[in-house]
Amino acid sequence: MSKKLQPVRGTHDLLAEECAHYLYVVNTARQISQRYGFAEAMTPIFEFSEVFHRTLGETSDVVSKETYTFSDRGGESLTLRPEFTAGVARAFISHGLQDQLPCKFFYAGPAFRYERPQKGRMRQFHQIGVEILGVEQVQADIEVIALGQQLFDALGLSSLVCLEINSLGDAQSRHAYRSALVDYLNQHRSQLSEESQQRLEKNPLRILDSKAEVDQPIIAGAPEMHAYFNDASKQFFAALCDGLSLLGLRYTINPKLVRGLDYYCHTVFEFKTDALGSQNAVLAGGRYDGLISMMGGPHTPGIGFASGVERIMALRTEAAQLSAPKPVRPIALIPLGDAAEKEMLKIAYHLRSNGYVVEHTYAGNLSKRMKKADKLNAIAALILGDDELAQGIISLRDFSDGAQTTATISELESTLAPYKDRL
């Protein structure tokens, strides 16, 4: 087959059962988010490049190595979204939603990063997530984390994930810690990995998240972040921990869990698993009170999370041996004769209008159509020939026990009523 007829490396077709699994994960997240009062938002797949380059940092790995950035025919620099938060924040500013606070958004859809494809990570991948804008109280942080926990509960994955939390403190505390950390790391500059030496100039907090072996002894001796917290930061984090404990949510405090960008503050959290190899975070979030003002909007606190749908799917299938619910079993239609074909079109339309799942068998004799019905995993088949049509009756074959009965066409829906609950 021609290379052009293959999917691009790092992309993947979602067909049939896999697509059903994807929709199951997304719809589960959507339903739980609705219980928490989140309304769905859909932002464009691409934005002006500045939306992502400013918010993610021009020197970040995502912007410098992974974004799909291009110039359109009008000469504008556009970028396919690598994540959703910046687009949601841009929409908040564009539509002047500061008079409608708090705003609570759920989102789902594709995102794009040019990275090495691996298990659970693709160049076109899908995310689900939530954002709360306009709430500075810790209740929003607790609510968002609780939503994440209930999502994993609903997906049957709670035993495979663990919650890690940390606090970055407020802006004052963060600045004090950053200065102390840079002073410490400069004493060990020559021993750091090349990547961490670059981060020391641009994004020193990210060094705490380094996986390089040579960095680990240095990170272990780094100053403790919480030692630089002011009273307000200590109280906020204590309230977060108390709230999570009140809900019975188990968590571990990971002092090395960070976000490198300055608009993040206070709460950061991740749900992690050891069932998918080195890429162990399946949901990550945090508070970003400085994001919208940095983008030119009014000061608006925010907190949210994002999760990769493919990673959740992989966790369900590989680690938990779970899958999406089985597809609905349809009622198969088997007309025999031209007049019966026309009548079956009307019957199908009527049944579908009343909530039944119906499949045509389209062509072939009775035997071939019955085989097609079996392949469809039909729960029952309606068989109609020209002779039956003349009498106003139709045959019903139940595939669970093989029994075959007849019913009048005019009363067909009442005859099928028991099957509606079994679809």
Q: Are residues 59 and 140 in the same domain?
A: yes
Q: Which residues of 184-209 are buried (b: 16+ CB within 10 A; e: fewer)?
A: ebeebeeebbeebeebbeebbbbbbe
Could you tell me if 106 and 135 are in contact, meaning their C-beta atoms sit under 8 angstroms apart?
no
In a domain, 201, yes or no: no
Positive or negative torsion for Cα 227, 229, 231, 235: negative
Task: Give domain status of residue 224, yes or no.
Answer: no
- Judge whether 206 lies within some domain: no
* Helix residue ranges per DSSP H, 247-307: 291-294
Claim to verify: residue 241 and residue 138 sit in the same structural domain: yes
Q: Which residues contact 229 (CB under 8 A, 6 or more apart)?
A: 167, 169, 173, 237
Domain count, the chain: 2
State how far the Cα of 172 lies from the Cα of 228, in Å rounded to an integer. Answer: 9
* Judgement on whether residues 262 and 282 belong to the same structural domain of the protein: yes
**Range of 149's domain?**
3-170+230-319
In this structure, the answer to whether residues 165 and 308 fall within a common structural domain is yes
CB 227 within 8 A of CB 128: no
- Do 287 and 352 share a domain, yes or no? no
- Enumerate residue ranges in the chain where pLDDT < 70: 1-3, 57-64, 117-120, 278-279, 421-423
* Amino acid, res. 111: A
pTM of structure: 0.89
Pair 414, 265 in one domain = no
Asked whether residue 98 falls in the same domain as residue 137, the answer is yes
Tokens 């994993």 — which residue?
Answer: 152
Domain termination site, one of 288, 319, 350? 319
Other beta carbons less than 10 A from residue 336's beta carbon: 19
d(CA 215, CA 211): 7
List the strands of the sheet with 77-80, edge to edge. 46-48, 77-80, 69-71
Contacts by residues 88-91 (CB-CB < 8 Å, ≥ 24 positions apart): 88/41, 88/43, 88/131, 88/133, 88/304, 89/55, 89/131, 89/133, 89/291, 89/292, 89/295, 89/297, 89/302, 90/43, 90/47, 90/51, 90/295, 91/41, 91/43
Distance (Å, whole) CA 326 – CA 323: 8
- φ and ψ at 413, to 5 degrees? -65, -40
Find the length of the chain: 423
CATH number where 122 lies:
3.30.930.10
